[in-house]
Amino acid sequence: MDRETAEEPPAEFSTEGETPEAGRILVIMHQAHSVPGRIGHRLEERGFRLDPRRPAIGDPLPDDLSSYRGVVVFGGPQSANDTHPYIRQEIDFVGRVMKEDAPLLGICLGAQLMAAQLGARVDRHVDGLCERGYYPLRPTPLGERLLPWPSHVYHWHAEGFDLPRGAELLAEGDVFPNQAFRYGRNAYALQFHPEVTQDMMCRWTVRGAERLAHPGAQPAEAHLEGWSRYDPAVCLWLDMFLDAWVGLTHADGTG
C-alpha cells in the first residue's frame, strides 16, 4: 500500500511515555569521509552521543557493548562478500550484537553484513540491475502493523540479500524483493537509505555519476525530483522508527 503521509504509530510499536536517557550510539561507517547524515542528526537531537568508528581505515570495534544504547552500521562501496579482514570483523561483530539482543540498525551494506552473518546469500541482481534513485516500497502485513511506511525510498546499491532464516520480512520492493527485515526484537536491516540528506544525494550523484549509467539506475534529475516528492514521508517514518528503536518499545510479541 502506498503511503504519502504518516500517522501516529500503532500500539504494537508505540513510543508513548518513552524518553530515552542520554547514552552513546556506536556508528560504523566505511569511508574516511562518510557521515551518519540525517540519522546521526536525529539521534543527537534525542540526546544521544555518537561514537563513530571506521574499521576500513583502522578504527577498532569495541569489545564491550554495555555502555552503548545501540549500534548503527551504515553503507559503503564494499561488499559483504569482500575478503578484507575488517569486513569479516564487522560480520562477526554484528553477530555478537544480535546475540546480545542489543539495538542494531543496518543500512544497505550494514543490512547485507547482518544477512551474511545470519547465513543468507548476498549477491548482485540476476539480471545485472541496480537501484539508484527512488523506488517503490511495500510493507508486509507485519511491517504495516509496526509503522506506516513511505511509498518510495532512496537507494544506492547493486547487491541485495536473501531473507535470513528466522528473520521477519517487513518491507518489499520490485527489483530487490527484500527491503527490510527484523531479527529478534531489536535488530533491523534496511536495504534503502533513510539517512540521506539532500547534500549527500547531490554528492553521490555527482561523484558517482558513472554509476547512473548502470542498468536500472535513474538519472540524476529523477533523484532530485524524487526528493521533493517523497522525502517528507521518509522523514516522518524515520522519526517514528528511531523513537521506537532507541526506546525499545517493541510490544507486538512476535520477536
Is 195 considered catalytic here? yes
Is 193 considered catalytic here? yes
Catalytic residue among 30, 152, 155, 195: 195
Catalytic residue among 30, 90, 108, 130: 108
Contacts 24+ apart (CB under 8 A), 162-169: 162/115, 162/120, 162/121, 162/122, 163/115, 163/120, 164/114, 164/115, 164/118, 164/119, 164/120, 165/118, 165/119, 165/120, 166/118, 167/115, 167/118, 167/120, 168/142, 168/254, 168/255, 169/140, 169/142, 169/143
Question: Cβ distance 101 to 95 under 8 Å?
Answer: no
Catalytic residue among 30, 193, 223, 250: 193
Is 108 considered catalytic here? yes
Of 123, 113, 51, which Cα lies nearest the Cα of 88? 113
DSSP state of 215: T
Rounded Cα distance, 155 and 237, in Å: 16
Which residues are identified as catalytic? 108, 193, 195
